Amino acid sequence: MSAEHPVIGLSSATANQPTTSDSFCFWLAPGVIVNPFDIVEAEQVAPDGTSRTFGIVTTLEHSTDAPTHLSNFISNDFGQVSVEPNTVRQGTTVAHAAVLSNDRDIYMPVMNDRPIRFADETGIHTALGVDQVPERYRVPAGLIEMSNGTRAVVYLDSRYILGPEGAHVNITGISGLATKTSYAIFLIQSILQKAQNRDRIGVIILNVKHGDLLTIDQPPRAGLPPEEHELWEALGLTPQPFSNVRYLLPHGKTTRTDGRPNSFRVPERDWFLYAYSLADTYNKLDLLLSNIPDPWDTVGALIGEINQRLSDPKTGQWGPRGQWQNVNTWRDLLNGPPLVDPNTGQAQQVGDVRAVSVGRFRRLLRRIVETRQTGIFVEHRPRDVKNLSQEIASIRGGETIVVDIARLADDEQTLVFGDILRTIYALYAEEGSESEDLPEKVIIFVDELNKYAPAREKGSPIIEQVLDIAERGRSLGVVLLGAEQFMSAVHERVVGNCSTMVIGRSGSAELSSPAYRFLDPAVKANVSRLQKGELVISHATFRQPVKIRFPRPAYLQEGIQD
Partner 1 sequence: MRALQYLRHMLKEIAQDVETLPAVGGAVEDLERPDFEEREDQLLNEEEKIFETIFERDPLAARPPLYRPVPAIGRSENHLFRYFLDGSFRSYFLGTVLENERESPVHYAQIGACVLRREDDGSVRREALQIRNILLAGKDRLSQAVWTKLETLAQQAEIDLVDLTESDIVSGVLTDFDLRNKAAGKVRFAMHKLEAKIIKEILPQLSQERWLVVDGSLLFEPTLAQLSSGDQIKPVVGVAKNFRKDPQFVSGRGPRAERRSIYKLLSELQAEHRTAVFSARDGKVVFWYVRLREQTYLDYPLMGVVKAELANPSQEPVPSDLIDEISRALVAERNVTPHGQDRRWHAHLYPIFIAERAVKESLFSREAVQQFLKWR
Query: Which span (72-80, 355-363, 413-421, 458-466) binds partner 1, by CB under 8 A?
Result: 72-80
What is the Cα–Cα distance from 212 to 560, expressed in whole angstroms? 10
Q: Which of 14, 21, 63, 74 binds partner 1 (CB under 8 A)?
A: 74
# residues near partner 1 by CB under 8 A: 20
From 509, 445, 438, select the one nearest 477 (Cα to Cα): 438
Helices (H) and strands (E) in the chain, counts: 16, 19
Please calculate the CA angle 130-131-132 and round it to the nearest 5 degrees: 90
| Interacting positions 350-369 with partner 1 (CB under 8 A) | none
Per DSSP, the three-state class of 147 is coil
**Could you give the C-alpha distances from 328 to 114, 300, 311, 373, 387, in angstroms and in order?**
79, 21, 12, 19, 16
In the complex, the smallest distance separating the C-beta of residue 84 from partner 1, rounded to whole angstroms, is 6
322 near partner 1, rule: CB under 8 A: no
10, β-bridge pairs = 27, 115
Nearer to partner 1, 77 or 352 (CB): 77
From 199, 165, 188, select the one nearest 477 (Cα to Cα): 165
Q: Which of 2, 87, 344, 435 binds partner 1 (CB under 8 A)?
A: 87
77 near partner 1, rule: CB under 8 A: yes
Q: Which of 6, 61, 89, 254 binds partner 1 (CB under 8 A)?
A: 89
71 near partner 1, rule: CB under 8 A: yes
33 near partner 1, rule: CB under 8 A: no
Nearer to partner 1, 65 or 258 (CB): 65
78 near partner 1, rule: CB under 8 A: yes
Q: Which of 23, 35, 59, 76 binds partner 1 (CB under 8 A)?
A: 76
In the complex, the smallest distance separating the C-beta of residue 111 from partner 1, rounded to whole angstroms, is 16
Nearer to partner 1, 82 or 344 (CB): 82
From 115, 113, 126, select the one nearest 5 (Cα to Cα): 115
Nearer to partner 1, 31 or 432 (CB): 31
In the complex, the smallest distance separating the C-beta of residue 70 from partner 1, rounded to whole angstroms, is 7
In the complex, the smallest distance separating the C-beta of residue 66 from partner 1, rounded to whole angstroms, is 7
514 near partner 1, rule: CB under 8 A: no
- E strand or H helix at 534: strand 534-539
Over the range 465-479, which residues count as b (16 or more CB within 10 Å of their CB) and which as e? bbbbbbeebbebbbb
What is the Cα–Cα distance from 20 to 42, expressed in whole angstroms? 13
Three-class SS string for 490-531?
ECHHHHHCCCEEEECCCCHHHHCCHHHCCCCHHHHHHHCCCC
In the complex, the smallest distance separating the C-beta of residue 2 from partner 1, rounded to whole angstroms, is 24
Nearer to partner 1, 67 or 316 (CB): 67
- E strand or H helix at 35: none
Nearer to partner 1, 113 or 370 (CB): 113
Residues that bind partner 1 in the complex, under the rule CB under 8 A: 30, 65-68, 70-71, 74-78, 83-90
